[in-house]
Each structure stands twice: as C-alpha cells, then as structure tokens.
C-alpha cells in the first residue's frame, strides 16, 4: 500500500469491494504497529476465511463461484485466533493468524497512515466546529 492508496481510502465514488476490504485489513495491522510504537499494547489478528455473508454485494454469478472455491472455516474456528490473542502472552504490535505470530513483509507505512488519519480527523472536527458556529 502506498501513500497514494492511503489517500484513496478517503475518496468517495468508485468502490472496489476486494480492494477496500484488503486495504482496511492492512490498516488494522498498521494501526496496531503504530499503537505499539506509542507504548500502547495492541495486536492485529486475522480470523482467516470464515463462512459469512461478506460477499453478499457481489454479483450473483461471482458470489456462487467465490463460494464454490473458498475453504471457509466455521465462525467458531475463525474466533480461535482472536481468543488466542486475548488470552495468550502475545507480542505487542504483532500480527497473528492461525494462532501464531506472522511476519508481514512490506514498507513501513504505519507512520504515514497515522499522520493521514490525524489529518482526516482534524478536517472532520474543523467542519463540525464550523457548522456549529454557523448554527449559533
């Protein structure tokens, strides 16, 4: 994910189900790393592919093909990694999948994501403040 892709997260208009989903999951990993750097204990974890209705917005033919080829776990199996992270002695800032610490390669984007998120929050607060002043 590049900084350009980070900017795309805040854009309205064209929506890509897969792209948006993957970007949101990667942002979870980056935020856990950022929180760890700020001395807050946090981890991110993946439940794996769980049998849910997440594909409900896909065209029906793609949805049927998607479900035919996926090897989804039960919700209980998917919850195992989340429960593990809550109960075990885990590495802060780590990413866990299948109840194990998993190394994710890639650029260190957590600082850029944190700064970008701060700018989005600041802009939203400024708009809210301006709207409240206009109403007063």
pLDDT above 60 for 2: no
117-135 residues labelled b (16+ CB within 10 A) or e (exposed): beeeeeeeeeeeeeeeeee
Following CA atoms 61, 64, 66, 70 in sequence, which dihedral angle do they give, to the nearest 10 degrees? -170
For the beta sheet containing 100-102, the strands, ordered from the edge strand earlier in sequence to the opposite edge, are 44-46, 95-97, 100-102
SS3 110: helix
Quick: pLDDT tens for 26-62: 888 888 999 999 999 999 999 888 877 777 787 888 8
Q: What is the pLDDT of residues 64-119, one digit of tens each?
A: 877 777 778 888 999 999 999 999 999 999 999 999 998 876 667 778 888 888 88
Q: What is the DSSP letter of 44?
A: E
What whole-number distance in Å separates Cα of residue 113 and Cα of residue 128?
22
Place of tokens 């299948």: 98
3-state helix, strand, coil in the chain (%, to 5): 55, 10, 35
Retrieve residue 27's tokens. Answer: 């942002």
User: End-to-end CA distance of the chain, in Å?
Assistant: 42
């Amino acid at each position: 994910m590049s900084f350009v892709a980070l900017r795309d997260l805040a854009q309205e208009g064209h929506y890509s189900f897969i792209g948006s989903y993957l970007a949101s999951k990667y942002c979870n990993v980056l935020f856990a790393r950022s929180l760890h750097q700020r001395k807050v204990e946090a981890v991110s974890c993946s439940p794996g592919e769980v049998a849910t209705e997440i594909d409900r917005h896909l065209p029906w033919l793609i949805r049927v093909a998607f479900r035919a080829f996926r090897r989804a776990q039960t919700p209980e199996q998917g919850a195992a990694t989340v429960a593990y992270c809550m109960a075990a002695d885990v590495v802060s800032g780590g990413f866990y999948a299948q109840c194990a610490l998993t190394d994710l390669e890639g650029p260190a984007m957590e600082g850029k994501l944190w700064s970008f998120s701060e700018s989005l929050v600041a802009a939203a607060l400024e708009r809210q403040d301006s709207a409240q002043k206009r109403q007063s």
